């Protein structure tokens, strides 16, 4: 379980860094904003 969690975290960090490099973080910022709105809709 820990190995799978570590692989997922590394993949997300790598994808975010690649997005920052290629598109100046446009998609990462949009995904974070979407997750923030989903969290607010559930009351977090």
| Higher per-residue pLDDT: 24 or 44 | 24
Per the CB < 8 A criterion, the answer to whether 32 and 20 are in contact is no
pTM of the predicted model as reported, rounded to 2 decimal places: 0.65
DSSP letters, the chain, are -HHHHHHHHHHHHHHHHHHHHHHTTHHHHHHHHHHHHHHHHTT-
Residue 44: what pLDDT?
Answer: 77
Residue 25: what pLDDT?
Answer: 87
- Residues 13, 41: Cα–Cα separation, whole Å: 25
Write out pLDDT tens, residues 2-39. 999 999 999 999 999 999 999 998 999 999 999 999 99
């Amino acid at each position: 379980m820990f190995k799978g969690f570590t692989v997922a975290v590394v993949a997300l960090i790598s994808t975010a860094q690649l997005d920052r490099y290629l598109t100046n973080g446009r998609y990462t910022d949009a995904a974070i904003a979407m997750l923030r709105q989903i969290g607010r809709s559930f009351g977090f």
